[in-house]
Amino acid sequence: MVNQTISHYSIQEHICNGGFGEIYRAEDKNLKRQVALKLLPQSMSHNPEIKTRFIYEAQAVSTLDHNNICTIYEVGETEEKQLFIAMAYYKGHTLKKIIEKKTLKIEEIIDITCQIAKGLARAHKAQIIHRDIKPANIIITEDNEVKILDFGIAKCSNQSMQNHQDCIMGTMAYMSPEQLQNNNIDHRSDIWSLGVVLYEMITGKLPFKGEYEQSIAYEILNKEPDLISVFKSNIPISLKWILEKTLAKEPDHRYQHIDEIPVDLKVLQSKNQAISEIMVNSKDFKKRTRRIEGLLLFCTAGIVSLLIFIFFNLLK
């Protein structure tokens, strides 16, 4: 596909595989800008259900209009009846690549989580459940803005699914227990997935893992993840509590609304800043104290020397 032209888009580079399609970097020849072009494979173009879902993704995302959600420019069809979605192209890296390359600071983790939560809150308000929140679907731009990508398997909370297979689509390691069990899911399933992403940002590891999908599913349904303190020391207790609340296996025991998470994280952040200021002030106080002690010691030594000098002069 590279170097080919679709509609008024000149394809320049293959980026990745997305939900229901290949994603390319392309140039919009009309507006002279870079775009991300998502193409529905021709092998799927004759499947009415997949075709409908592909169009639904474009329609769903285009209505959201939020800073933390990717921008959709248009949905179109080639002369060969191949569907495509043109989206904004963001310079940056996926959260997956960032986690692989470096250890994130607590402040960075809080900021990224809050931005993801705000984007999802907008989607949930529109009755849209993403169903595939994971680091590979999160872009961190060069300006440190979070963009949620790939609503390819999103569903409306009131949308009936047409078959069993469709209901359990997603990425196994990030699926909620109810999604795995093919139960009715709501926005709290995205909250679980965000909890998995939060755990991964803190530890660099997945909370539920295994060599096979069946073993991962068993862990999700029956096991508790390793304590984050095993991987990272000095984790605030309140962050552990937030994480536990996002990863509660029963939806009723989780956060009930995604926008509750940034509130708790901001409280945690303010407490951390207060503690940091206390520590800094404490260090400054100790430095000033040591300086004063040194000055007093110097002055005392000078006075003693002067008194000794006067004493010996009087003896003469």
Q: Are residues 181 and 145 in the same domain?
A: yes
Q: Are residues 103 and 240 in the same domain?
A: yes
Considering the domain boundaries, does residue 313 fall inside one? no
Considering the domain boundaries, does residue 289 fall inside one? no
| CATH number for the domain that contains residue 134 | 1.10.510.10
Q: Provide the domain count of the chain.
A: 2
Considering the domain boundaries, does residue 147 fall inside one? yes
- Give me 134's structure tokens: 């994971």
Average pLDDT over residues 295-303: 74
Q: Are residues 124 and 163 in the same domain?
A: yes
Is the separation of the CB atoms in 235 and 183 below 8 Å?
no
pLDDT digits (tens, 9 = 90+) for 40-76: 877 777 788 877 877 877 887 888 889 999 999 998 8
Q: Are residues 256 and 132 in the same domain?
A: yes
- Of the residues 79, 80, 142, 211, only one is catalytic, namely 142
pLDDT digits (tens, 9 = 90+) for 153-175: 666 555 544 443 444 567 899 99
Q: Model confidence at 316, in pLDDT bands (50, 70, 90)?
A: low
217 by DSSP, 3-state: which? helix
Which domain covers residue 17, as residue numbers? 5-88
Report in angstroms the alpha-carbon separations of 188 from 147, 153, 176, 213, 269: 20, 16, 9, 22, 24
Active site residue 142: yes
Give me the residue label for tokens 């800008």.
33
Pairing of strands 21-28, 33-39: antiparallel
| CATH number for the domain that contains residue 43 | 3.30.200.20
Residue 304 amino acid letter: V
Q: Are residues 72 and 98 in the same domain?
A: no
Tell me the pTM: 0.80
Q: Which residue blocks in the chain are alpha helix, DSSP H?
A: 48-62, 95-101, 106-125, 164-167, 177-180, 188-203, 213-222, 237-246, 260-315
Element (H or E) spanning 17, and its range?
strand 9-18
Q: For residues 301 and 274, what is the distance between their CA atoms, to the nearest angstrom?
A: 40
Q: Are residues 62 and 127 in the same domain?
A: no
